[in-house]
Chain A
């Protein structure tokens, strides 16, 4: 894995890093080397362990095994303050600065020059201005940080990192909310810092950006190390397949497939989005979903697939384009508006946006239906029992105890309960965002079978999954997302293979 040119000693050398959380091995023997004067990309799908690795390096998490060498000396950081002291600075995805303070205050916070023990504001502002100048940022240090765009805040955060003369700069998803010009500006700064000899760790879901800026990359998958590569020596297709891995063969045997012989695209679509979009979230896109059709959304995490789902479900409000449901124009101002139009949405964030943990399985299943009726018209107990029994049996929810608290169920069974919640509302369109993430193989197959079954009975389904095989098997049509836009749409069939989709995700279908 070591290339012959690496004669210089790395500034940071992490070897055999393992971190365990109760019940989960988040990192398992991962290595990472950061060289001065290099931009190093850390790649991997969500849950691959990127954030955990960064947090190990910055002292947010303690490590259970392994060694961290900084400048050749072993280090164990017990907090972000200590890591900063050792010259490791981090700029997090959601800029971790204080919007209520001024730019100068944010840059210098904790490192203000003193005069007779008191903070010397004049010197503080002057030094902040100097740091801004080196970044090429022409903003007033006394203006409040909140009045600037995310891009500027990002650069301010980097300025702050450089106050402590950082030898290592970690950029965690710095470009996720920037537009193209802003990214270019950020990259200029990053290159300048690299040329000064700073080691930069760059984390991003945007493949193109990684190829544009990085010299070297480390790929992680499922908490383990896949390998370290020179950017110039690995192709985009290779990178994507290393990131997602090919460990899904097990499922191939299950042969869950939608019947591709049927062509549901005849007739009017149930849902028709034209130029639907939301600033800072997803570029305007067109999408039709017909009754009985499974539309798959493929793309890496952060490519905009979730954002598309949220717009279709009224979870976020669109600020561009139009949406028609059953031929009628529809403005989905909130999830309730979508539910009233028979659209059901199961969020990817099961824990935060699905599970009501302290309620029972029974209550969770009828929650959607009851919400539709309002609090005054309670569902009759008999009807509730009938619905709950039906879905517990139909979906094989274990334990089959309607009075169990949902938080005590396994992830797969929680997912089934959420599916039951939505199916109980008898939707005509079911939007499933990562319904099979983090659940065991058996439950996964059951959910896939259910999706195929529902579609064959006339329900429209939008299916999102990071596992391309799954999308490929279930979908009639596949929309490919990349860098927050829809880049391609293909009709699924025998001729379409995994490699075609991977190729589209990697290249964007532009060549």
Chain B
């Protein structure tokens, strides 16, 4: 099952393939501690699937799993962006509000008759620009990420209501067609355009983090900003860029949400940043930065989605249990992280 553990090509399999003597083969079977939290996430995911499959009929059906991706595509994108920020040791509270702003702007502009081909890149850009502003506040003015993104959150949420206090339905043809596009894999697994976009975002993020200098610098900053600077890496640029990435992801998330709900409403995405942070933490990314994987965050989103599904299947359990279970899970993972970091230092 090593394929579930993303690490930029150093999976056990790759190592074994390389083989051929050398010191590497000696410890090929030992699991690197960096993967422990992700493995934990995977175990939780598997447990939910197994228990759910045993308790409920149809739980392990292809439809349920396909819907998991369809219903959470925007959260996947948010979590991906958040992963970049948290890897550097920062946090982004603005993503929920930026998502709403992007969705509302999309709906507003489409309603005003602007073609989808212009609107789509434009609303993504809205997210990037807000991210750039946040990055500048954090880097140039040395404002704590918490406060800078809090300001961005208020700002974006306020703009939402300025653009459109009411929910705007989207009827623009191209957009509706794009949102409605889907295909069936193997005749059973339904994939919508949102899922495709989300997966593309994940793939791009994976590439950025593991195959570019930018991504390596993100990890290095999380490992120690001072060290990264002394190693001659472009720390300043990277710190601004992670917020741009997160903002852009929130912009894309807004687009996906608009496609999902066929409307733009300024109250969407309230507290969604918490879900994104929770997904990233449950996905095994250390909040102190430096350790974590974008695919882990995807797993984290799937865990959150599965909890929701289980509670729906259970029927007798009320929806609020979702929050309690997520909180409990968060606690377990935070303590697990704490134990791991204490042992390391």
- In the complex, whether B159 has a CB less than 8 A from a CB of chain A is no
> Is A99's CB under 8 angstroms from B230's CB?
no
- In the complex, whether A105 has a CB less than 8 A from a CB of chain B is yes
CB contacts (< 8 Å) of B233 on chain A: these are 81, 109-110
- In the complex, whether A143 has a CB less than 8 A from a CB of chain B is yes
Knowing A98-B223, A100-B222, A143-B27, the reply to whether A110 touches B33 (Cβ < 8 A) is no
Q: Of the 9-residue stretches A89-97, A257-265, A317-325, which lies at the interface with chain B? A: A89-97
- In the complex, whether B227 has a CB less than 8 A from a CB of chain A is yes
CB contacts (< 8 Å) of B228 on chain A: these are 98
| Interface flags, B224-237, vs A, CB<8A=1, else 0 | 10111111111000
CB contacts (< 8 Å) of A90 on chain B: these are 230
Q: In the complex, A101→B87 CA distance in Å?
A: 12
- In the complex, whether A118 has a CB less than 8 A from a CB of chain B is yes
> Is A140's CB under 8 angstroms from B24's CB?
yes
- The answer, among A60, A83, A96, A118, for a CB contact under 8 Å with B227, is A96
- In the complex, whether B32 has a CB less than 8 A from a CB of chain A is yes
Contact residues, A66-113 vs B (CB, 8 A) = 79-85, 90, 92, 96-102, 105, 109-110, 112
> Is B232's CB under 8 angstroms from A121's CB?
no
- In the complex, whether A119 has a CB less than 8 A from a CB of chain B is yes
Knowing A96-B226, A125-B18, the reply to whether A105 touches B23 (Cβ < 8 A) is no
Q: How far is the CB of A42 from chain B (nearest CB, A)?
A: 18
- In the complex, whether B318 has a CB less than 8 A from a CB of chain A is no
> Is A118's CB under 8 angstroms from B211's CB?
yes
Knowing A112-B216, A121-B8, A122-B18, the reply to whether A146 touches B344 (Cβ < 8 A) is yes
- The answer, among B22, B33, B216, for a CB contact under 8 Å with A144, is B33
| Most A C-beta atoms less than 10 A away, residue of B22, B24, B232 | B232
* Count of A-B contacts judged by CB separation below 8 Å: 101
> Is B219's CB under 8 angstroms from A140's CB?
no
> Is A110's CB under 8 angstroms from B232's CB?
yes
CB contacts (< 8 Å) of A121 on chain B: these are 8-10, 14
- In the complex, whether A139 has a CB less than 8 A from a CB of chain B is yes
| Interface flags, A120-143, vs B, CB<8A=1, else 0 | 011001000100000000111111
> Is B24's CB under 8 angstroms from A96's CB?
no
Q: In the complex, A92→B232 CA distance in Å?
A: 13
Contact residues, B149-168 vs A (CB, 8 A) = none
- In the complex, whether A491 has a CB less than 8 A from a CB of chain B is no
Knowing A109-B233, A147-B33, the reply to whether A140 touches B26 (Cβ < 8 A) is yes
CB contacts (< 8 Å) of B10 on chain A: these are 102, 121, 125, 142
* New A-B contacts (19) at CB < 8 Å, excluding given A80-B231, A98-B224, A109-B216: A79-B232, A81-B233, A81-B234, A83-B232, A90-B230, A97-B224, A97-B231, A100-B34, A109-B220, A109-B233, A110-B216, A110-B217, A110-B231, A110-B232, A112-B213, A121-B10, A140-B24, A142-B32, A144-B34
Chain B residues within 8 Å of A, Cβ to Cβ: 8-10, 14-15, 18, 22-24, 26-27, 32-34, 207, 210-213, 216-217, 219-220, 222-224, 226-234, 290-291, 344
